[in-house]
Amino acid sequence: MTGRPGGRLEGKVALVTGAGSVGPGWGNGRAMAVIFAQEGASVFLVDRDEESVEVTAKQVREAGGTVVTRVGDVTDPASVEAFVDGCAAELGGLDVLVNNVGGSRAGGVEQLSLEAWNDQLQVNLTSVFLGCKYAVPHMRAAGGGSIINVSSASGLRYTGAAQVGYASAKAAIIQLSRVTAVQYAAERIRVNTVVPGQLHTPMVEARLAGQRAGGDVAKLLEQRQARIPIGFMGDGRDTAYAALFFASEESRFVTGAEIVVDGGMTVRCD
């Protein structure tokens, strides 16, 4: 499939953080980068792993898209300001920002160290704050834009593992998005949140199985699948299609909203 004239994001510039992937397959950032490009956007991709983000860029080019990559640290204000400004300078603007970086650490209030707690807030929440902070002036100057923040079902309910830092930060992203949406609505800057559930992304094999199932990937997948009423696990492409709606003009009247992408997991009773 190739990027095409008349796509849902034709003529738009989209910046996606966390656009690499920890392994083969469809992570959220990689899927968003490729699908946005397929829909006509020029994409500016940021990740801390240069090799991984270049793999994503190769897939974007194969889809017929225009792409620029940058190694960056989403928790460092100077780095975020530099890559946001760089996007606007190199691609001629900034219409869509996706704050996608995140990662979980196991532990409740007794088990999680203060250092780990602070790290979880930095990676999952401060990164979103910084992205919004430096993107808003560019979008204001352009007459509007769309900011899409990626939260998690862990920010809505307990999902089977004590990870208090991650859950707290992901819950806070939703409220940060709502407050920012109201503040900038009159300037046509829309701010919305995608809330993925327990997807089968490369993170399962690379990290989560070791944290939660003694390295047994099949066991973890079975546990996660059992929580999902729809009967199968989605992947990063499902997150990306929700983000695509928020990025496009189809959602021009939508701000301060959430799309939950979880196969019904967070609304079941048991």
Q: Phi-psi region for residue 4, left (φ > 0), alpha (ψ -120 to 50) or beta?
A: beta
Q: Is 184 a catalytic residue?
A: no
pTM for the whole thing?
0.93
Long-range contacts of 79-87 (CB under 8 A, 24+ apart): 80/127, 80/130, 80/131, 80/133, 80/134, 81/134, 83/15, 83/44, 83/46, 84/15, 84/131, 84/134, 84/135, 84/138, 85/134, 85/138, 86/44, 87/13, 87/15, 87/44
Tell me which of 158, 166, 184, 241 is the catalytic residue: 166
* 8 Å CB contact between 242 and 205: no
d(CA 260, CA 270) in angstroms, rounded, equals: 18
Q: What are the pLDDT digits (tens) for 8-66?
A: 999 999 999 999 988 888 999 999 999 999 999 999 999 999 999 999 999 999 999 99
CATH 3.40.50.720 fits 13-201+235-261, yes or no: yes
Tens of pLDDT along 162-204? 999 999 999 999 999 999 999 999 999 999 999 999 898 787 7
| CA dihedral sign of residues 178, 182, 184, 186 | positive
Share of residues in the chain with pLDDT > 70 (%): 94
Domain ranges of the chain: 13-201+235-261
